[in-house]
Amino acid sequence: MKKRITLLLVVLSSVAFAQDYLVEEKYNPESYSRNPFSGNAENPNHRGIYGWGLYDHAGAESPTTNRWGSNHFNIRYQYNQKLFLGTFLVFGTGYNWNSFNLLKSETSFYNDSTEYDKRKFRFQNITSHLGLRFQTNENPDESFFLQVNGYWDILTHTAFNGWLEDENGVKIRNRKTKLNDTKINTFGLELRTGYAPFALFARYRLSDIFDNSVIDLPLFNFGIDIEIPSGD
Amino acid sequence: MRNIAIILFLTCNSAFAQMEAFLVSFKDKPVGDFNPYAYFHQDAINAKQAMGLPLYDWYDLPLNHQYVQTIQSIIDSTGYNLRWFNGLVIYTSVDKAASLFQLPFVKSISSLSSELVPTAERYFPEDVQEDFKIFDWQLQTLGKSYFDDKNLNGKGVKICIVDVGFDKADLNSLINRYIINRTDTFAWDFALNRALDFSTGHPHGGQVASFVAGKIDGHSVGLATEANLIFAKMNALFKTNKTREEAWLKAVEWAHQQGARLVNSSLGYSGNRSHKHNKLTGDSCLMSRAANLSARKGMLIVSSAGNDGTTLWKRIAFPADADSALTVGAISPETGVRTNYSSYGPTFNAKLKPNVSALGDVFWWNGDHLQEISGTSFSSPLVTGFAACILQDNPSLKPMDLVDTIQKSSSLYPYFDYSHGYGVPQASKYFNADTIQADSATVTIEKSPSYLQEGYYSFEYKSHNNSQIFYQIVNKKGIIKEYNVVKYEFKNDAPKIYYSDLEKGDKIRVKHRGTFIEVVHK
């Protein structure tokens, strides 16, 4: 069996490399170029960004949440404005969804809720960001990049959800919205790096979510992004 | 406090009221007595006579002094008089420039670019083996030995190197014989309008000149080792208000005045606010227009294609789009096809560019050790040296005849594409001594079996299996819709061009070694 697999791999690899295109170009006068100078083509510096990540305590002494189930998801628009060579000023706006899955033992938040089997905070924000982006060449679809942003989130929706199963096996979900002890504005820093449309991101929140809170929800989240040129 | 506020306001205002460079062209110029023998260098007179061209034309006449003085009385800061464009360069705001249209003698006002940059891609500073034989190999890609056999080395051909700087070129043994102890007017700094100082600036021009005419220890680095080089610098960082484009235009006029038959310009700019892709028509940018005019006047501009193959711009730079410039792209010594950084064509109006190609990754002697450098900046001077050898062999060739001769002498001719042009110029082909002439076809175009529902064309090697096949699909208008370079190992891996992807009248053109085939799809 092992021999057969090896033989198959050899055959497949020879098939894969048997034809070698050294140059492959198509030319269509109707779409002469795809760049911001052309005046008649898509501009790849308009970016749609879709990101998903996990919240992490990043070494905090007393974690408050489970990593799994504490998510960040965002959809953003970003424009890359060239400054010089591969250096760009970036700015954008969008919306994000955040979920924090509290540890069963966590009593810092709503300490009367520990009877629940699962508890989650959910926050939604309008987000905007401003930063610098460094690319290995001018085309964001063909370059490695490193991007450093400051971001600013404006809270639009808050919710606290608790799930439990009572002694009769009935599943109960309680939901409290419009939490009144949260801050409207939060801000932080973001680092993104990747190649072409694919990126890793890390965000660090510099402000608390809750007013007058002794400890706070995780400050750090990291994940993956995909950028899609959105055109003119 | 109020005074400080006013000063701040004025400072901000002056910072934002941006001074820009414009060329104000006049409607006419005085056609009086003009003595070409006083204006032109004797080499220019000789060159024009050799080509059978008139000694001067309208473009060489000086500007109307009254027009110049009127403009100077309105605009504080002015630059060069450009005879070819019958205009004066001014530095002012957009509004003030536009106001000059009120003058009855003003024909047009064009903006000038400061963004002209050398087309060197990158430098590898690490030492490599100190063996000058690498230079022989580099030049043999152009067939140097065939020129050697005929003792052709550019002798008697004047070549102007227009570049951003020539720092320490006078110290580099490759080319310092062209600089040291020279008493004629052979070098001018058009950024500062004074004699060229070889001790400052960018070294790019010295590197470029090396690949035209450099030699060391009996090894040639460029093909035209006996040509007469002159140097024009057009950049002085922070010290001049002259834009690079203005300096370039003046430098080209000067080169013509000095009798240069060739200008190597390893420079270009790849788009700005006013020059977008749709201006790549060969006659929009002032530099491109100057390159076209230059060819009419007997001086060929050899231009690097640009290094934007991997940037957003991708296409050739200005002035490489000029119809009458010989535009040179870069090929890789490893693959023999276009390097990824080399800008490619066609022009916006689908004209062939680049015209030809040459090595882009080359070795250079920096005075201390060999260094590998890259860019179409170095492809261009290799071809300039080639052109000089042909001009030495046939001094009466006019620029466009020279372009035609070089294209016909190139490795892919009559095949061409928008990455390689006609391929790499070959001295062997120039002398009709090509060693890769095929006695019989090395590749054939095969049609698919008739019983197949979806028909296609494919290729079959007849010899030299697994070597590069250049093929393309050309529409009825002669525009290349698709071009590829491919090699394959097994017959079944041969590329297939399906009938469904073709229109009636499309041509499939194939080049493989000495074989060239063209099939019309019916």
Pick from A22, A40, A41: CB nearest B468: A22
pLDDT value at residue A111: 62
CA angle, B363 then B368 then B372, to 5°: 20
Strand partners, B363: B372
Q: How do residues B2-51 score in pLDDT, each as one tens digit? A: 444 333 333 333 333 457 889 999 999 998 889 999 999 999 999 999 99
CA nearest to B278 within chain A: A38
Per-residue pLDDT of chain B (522 residues; tens, 9 = 90+): 444 433 333 333 333 345 788 999 999 999 888 999 999 999 999 999 999 999 999 999 999 999 999 999 999 899 999 999 999 999 998 889 999 999 999 999 988 876 667 777 655 555 555 688 899 999 999 999 999 999 999 999 999 999 999 999 999 999 999 999 888 889 999 999 999 999 988 899 999 999 999 999 999 999 999 999 999 998 866 666 678 889 999 999 999 999 999 999 999 887 665 678 888 999 889 999 999 999 999 999 999 999 988 877 889 999 999 999 999 999 999 999 999 999 999 999 899 999 999 999 999 998 888 888 999 999 999 999 999 999 999 999 999 999 999 999 999 999 999 999 999 999 999 998 665 555 678 899 999 888 888 899 999 998 888 899 999 999 998 999 999 999 998 888 899 999 999 999 999 999 998 899 999 998
Q: Which residue has the higher pLDDT, B271 or A78?
A: A78
Check residue B318 and report its DSSP letter.
B
Give the strand pairing for B326-331 and B356-359: parallel
CA nearest to A43 within chain B: B312
Rounded Cα distance between B463 and B354, Å, is 30
For residue B419, give the amino acid letter.
S
- Coil, helix or strand for A206? coil
For residue A160, give the amino acid letter.
F
Q: Which residues contact B344 (CB under 8 A, 6 or more apart)?
A: A25, B305, B309, B314, B315, B316, B329, B338, B353, B354, B418, B419
What is the nearest CA distance from A37 to chain B, expressed in angstroms? 5
- Please determine, for residue A14, whether its predicted confidence score (pLDDT) is greater than 50: no
**Residue holding tokens 């005849």?**
B401
What is the nearest CA distance from A29 to chain B, expressed in angstroms? 7
Q: What is the DSSP string of B120-143?
A: --EEE-S-----THHHHHHHHTTT
> What's the token pair of residue A28?
């269509």
Answer for the pair B100, B68: CB distance below 8 angstroms, yes or no.
no
Q: Calculate what percentage of chain A has a pLDDT beyond 90.
A: 41
- The arithmetic mean of pLDDT across residues A161-165, rounded, is 88
pLDDT value at residue B278: 84
Q: What is the DSSP string of B371-391?
A: EEEESHHHHHHHHHHHHHHHH
Q: Which residues of B touch A29 (CB under 8 A)?
A: 350, 479
Rounded Cα distance between A228 and A211, Å, is 37
Pick from A23, A33, A139: CB nearest B484: A23
R_g over Cα of chain A: 24
Ramachandran region of residue B214, left (φ > 0), alpha (ψ -120 to 50) or beta? Answer: beta
Say whether the ipTM exceeds 0.90. no
A20-29, A76-85, B12-21: least confidently modelled range: B12-21
In this prediction the pTM is 0.74
What is the CB neighbour count within 10 angstroms for residue B33?
A: 6
pLDDT value at residue B7: 38
Q: Name the strand (E) or helix (H) holding B254.
A: helix B244-257
CA nearest to B335 within chain A: A22
Would the CB atoms of B481 and A26 count as touching at under 8 Å? yes
Q: Which residues of B touch A24 (CB under 8 A)?
A: 484-485
CA nearest to B490 within chain A: A18
Would the CB atoms of B277 and A32 count as touching at under 8 Å? yes
- Among A22, A195, A232, which would you mutate to test the B interface (most chain B Cβ atoms within 10 Å of its Cβ)? A22
E strand spans, B386-464: 443-447, 456-461
CA neighbor of B514 nearest in space, from B463, B438, B407? B438
- Coil, helix or strand for B427? helix
CA neighbor of B299 nearest in space, from B331, B257, B247, B327? B257
What does the CA dihedral B35, B39, B41, B42 come to, rounded to 10 degrees? 0
Would the CB atoms of A21 and B486 count as touching at under 8 Å? yes
Q: Which residues of B touch A35 (CB under 8 A)?
A: 277, 312-314
CA neighbor of B307 nearest in space, from B372, B360, B265? B360
CA neighbor of B145 nearest in space, from B462, B449, B433, B456? B433
Rounded Cα distance between B253 and B238, Å, is 24
For residue B424, give the amino acid letter.
V
